[in-house]
Amino acid sequence: ETGVTQSPTHLIKTRGQQVTLRCSSQSGHNTVSWYQQALGQGPQFIFQYYREEENGRGNFPPRFSGLQFPNYSSELNVNALELDDSALYLCASSFQTGGEENGYTFGSGTRLTVV
Amino acid sequence: EDQVTQSPEALRLQEGESSSLNCSYTVSGLRGLFWYRQDPGKGPEFLFTLYSAGEEKEKERLKATLTKKESFLHITAPKPEDSATYLCAVRTYSSASKIIFGSGTRLSIRP
């Protein structure tokens, strides 16, 4: 059983640029959630995808967008990067059925630095 | 507004010195409370899920308990390898798609 894989592991971007982060779900999982974790803080919910549809969104602006693919992998896109977007971006996969969802498996994250 | 508060922010213990970490929550309807362990530069690692007041779960030197307002993570005779940040999180009925995390407790165990 493979875990959650995120790429790249580290990334440096310039303010105003766009970035795409990628996540491969754990085998058998059909739901992907994305979190932003600033240094010294707990993860903050960005959004969740289930069956390729957005299934919930946190307090993040529209320049944060995502996709889920038929194989349940996912992308997080951030446009017009700001310095405050510098953080660890975590992907978590889980299995959801009949409205019930099991616990998350997190990837190791992508460390994004905006300069 | 649903909220999770963890204390203390940081805790330094001697190897073998038992202690407890606190997680207080204010939510509209608790669907589940989670404990995760996070090592530096890594994603959180799942430890426990608790669903109702009075529930307890154990794993090696860790025991998690739940009341109607808070949860405790008890660490018995810790070892240096238990050093990590411990995160508490909740899922509510009103917003079931997301998990709300606290800021964590940074635990350091000295040999």
**Which strand ranges, in their side-by-side order, compose the sheet holding B56-59?**
B3-7, B19-26, B70-75, B62-66, B56-59
pLDDT for the residue B19: 98
Nearest CB to A41 within list B96, B97, B103: B103
First-last CA distance in chain A: 37
* Chain A CB contacts of B49 below 8 Å: 103
Chain B nearest-CA residue for A55: B97
Per residue in A59-78, pLDDT tens?
A: 999 999 999 999 889 999 99
Cβ contact B74:B63 at 8 Å: yes
Cβ-defined contact of B96 to A101 (cutoff 8 Å): yes
Mean confidence (pLDDT) of chain B: 94
Which pLDDT band holds residue A1 (cuts at 50, 70, 90)?
Answer: low
Q: How far apart are CA B56 and CA B47, in angstroms?
A: 12
Backbone angles phi, psi at B64, to 5 degrees: -110, 135
Beta strands in chain B (DSSP E): 3-7, 10-14, 19-26, 30-38, 45-50, 56-59, 62-66, 70-75, 84-92, 100-101, 105-110
Per residue in A4-50, pLDDT tens?
A: 999 999 999 999 999 999 999 988 888 999 999 999 999 999 999 98
User: How far is residue B96 from each of residues A31, B31, B90, B108, measured CA to CA in Å?
Assistant: 13, 8, 10, 33
pLDDT for the residue B61: 97
* Chain A CB contacts of B42 below 8 Å: 108-109
